[in-house]
């Protein structure tokens, strides 16, 4: 029987932390959610979720069930397990672990013996042992693996995915020793359908980087082939659709305007950072980054080409962008290729508006992009760019659209569009 008031504390209540806290609460655990953002905590306590995959109703239900949210770290000492899910952004392509270090310092000032510390934030191999543990040990004078237990478990949140959610997605887990691993496994088995053990924290940290680097590199490959096929006057979509009929040895990837979100454009940089430290650059990763980062400019070049064929000036033209989120059916614009496309168009003197039922406002640099209120106005533009093929767009009758459409998504719905 645990002597702790809370079964788990979650540090960082964003895209990863809040779903974890909600799932743990629904699994009948006593949960304490901690975040330094007092405004966020206030909104959450009023039942206002800012995370798309968590509805206000789900949040309210969890609060009614006992989910406790606060910006006071003193309750960390009353929690048997502490999960760190803070941001790990890139600054000038360098990993910024300041939030992880700050969380470690906060834990160290409140830690008591026999607590379990789990890092979930995406990072480079070695962070748990080389960064997290030393900070906690130095401040607390406790010994990891003896006085408290530590492990790493990569998050696998996929926003907007109705099939694979927090509970049914297998959870990779690790610990710095057998006792840590056993305790971490016992914790996650209470809230996750299946767990996958790996031998150490570096292996677990590498799992997440492999998953997203694999996608990053293959997307870059198909993007480069799309550019090549356009030059050779070959329909890349016909090629892809035919190739994926092979029942073995081929996985289909789709070209697009670039990559976005909180994982694929970011995570491979952690791998590059670590390998450069040992004098072994990952050339595949860096080349993939170069190709995918160039795609917004390539899309703009295709739009310019289209306008030239129409014998219309690009400067002062009016372009509507359908969908600006980084993936369909969500409103998340983090690292969205649409931002780079719009920046480029603004620099060329193009008038840009966007239509996206999931995105209420869009800030590019210091300028808010004007939002088109009605799809009915689509014929008022010189050109339409489909950037994100939201399911909602399938309800629109594109046969009535008289202006040219350039589809950067390859969706089958836009029959009269020129595709990337």
| Residues in contact with 18: Cβ distance below 8 Å, sequence separation at least 6, in sequence order | 10, 33, 44, 49, 51, 54, 59
Classify residue 269 as left (phi > 0), alpha (psi -120 to 50) or beta. Answer: alpha
263 a catalytic residue = yes
Backbone angles phi, psi at 172, to 5 degrees: -80, 130
The answer to whether residues 254 and 218 touch, using CB atoms and an 8 Å cutoff, is no
Helix (H, G, I), strand (E, B) or coil at 240: helix
Task: Give the relative orientation of helices 17-26 and 56-65 as an angle to the nearest 10 degrees.
Answer: 50
The answer to whether residues 192 and 167 touch, using CB atoms and an 8 Å cutoff, is yes
Backbone angles phi, psi at 157, to 5 degrees: -70, 130
The answer to whether residues 389 and 356 touch, using CB atoms and an 8 Å cutoff, is no
Q: Distances in Å between the alpha carbon of 368 and those of 343, 352, 353?
A: 11, 11, 10
Question: Among 222, 225, 170, 219, which Cα is nearest to 198's?
Answer: 170
* Helix residue ranges, H only, 27-84: 38-45, 56-65
What H or E segment, with its residue span, contains residue 257?
none
Token representation of residue 244: 């994926």
Q: In angstroms, what is the C-alpha Rg of the chain? A: 24
Token representation of residue 133: 């543990």
Q: Active site residue: 13, 263, 319, 345, which one? A: 263
* Helix residue ranges, H only, 66-177: 98-110, 127, 133-140
For residues 254 and 316, give the distance between their C-alpha atoms in angstroms, rounded to a whole number.
32
Catalytic residues: 263
């Amino acid at each position: 029987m645990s002597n702790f008031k809370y079964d788990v504390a979650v540090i960082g209540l964003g895209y990863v932390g809040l779903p974890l806290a909600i799932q743990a609460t629904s699994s009948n655990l006593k949960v304490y959610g901690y975040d330094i953002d007092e405004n966020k905590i206030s909104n959450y306590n009023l039942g206002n979720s800012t995370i798309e995959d968590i509805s206000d109703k789900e949040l309210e239900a969890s609060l009614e069930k006992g989910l406790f949210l606060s910006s006071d770290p003193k309750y960390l000492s009353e929690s048997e397990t502490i999960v760190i899910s803070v941001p790990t952004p890139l600054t000038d392509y360098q990993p910024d672990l300041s939030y992880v270090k700050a969380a470690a310092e906060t834990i160290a000032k409140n830690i008591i013996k026999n607590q379990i510390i789990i890092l979930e934030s995406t990072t480079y191999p070695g962070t748990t042992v080389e960064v997290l543990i030393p900070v906690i040990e130095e401040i607390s004078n406790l010994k990891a693996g003896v006085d408290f237990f530590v492990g790493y478990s990569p998050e696998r949140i996929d926003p907007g995915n109705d099939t694979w959610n927090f509970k049914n997605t297998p959870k990779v887990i690790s610990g710095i020793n057998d006792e840590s691993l056993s305790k971490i496994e016992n914790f996650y088995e209470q809230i996750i359908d299946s767990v996958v053990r790996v031998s150490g924290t570096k292996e677990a940290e590498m799992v997440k980087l492999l998953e997203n680097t694999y996608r990053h590199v293959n997307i870059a490959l198909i993007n480069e082939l799309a550019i090549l096929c356009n030059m050779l006057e070959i329909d890349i979509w016909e090629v892809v659709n035919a190739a994926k009929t092979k029942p073995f040895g081929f996985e289909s990837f789709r070209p697009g305007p670039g990559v976005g979100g909180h994982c694929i454009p970011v995570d491979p940089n952690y791998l590059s950072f670590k390998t450069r430290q040992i004098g072994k650059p990952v050339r595949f990763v860096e080349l993939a980054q170069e190709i995918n980062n160039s795609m917004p400019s390539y899309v703009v070049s295709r739009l310019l080409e289209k306008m030239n064929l129409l014998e219309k000036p690009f400067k002062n033209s009016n372009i509507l962008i359908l969908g600006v989120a980084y993936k369909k059916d969500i409103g998340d614009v983090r690292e969205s290729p649409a931002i780079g496309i719009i920046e480029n168009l603004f620099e060329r003197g193009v008038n840009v508006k966007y239509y996206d039922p999931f995105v209420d406002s869009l800030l590019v640099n210091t300028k808010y992009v004007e939002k088109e209120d009605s799809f009915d106005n689509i014929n008022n533009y010189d050109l339409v760019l489909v950037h994100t093929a939201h399911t909602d767009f399938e309800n629109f009758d594109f046969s009535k659209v008289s202006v040219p459409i350039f589809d950067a998504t390859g969706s089958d719905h836009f029959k009269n569009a020129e595709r990337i």
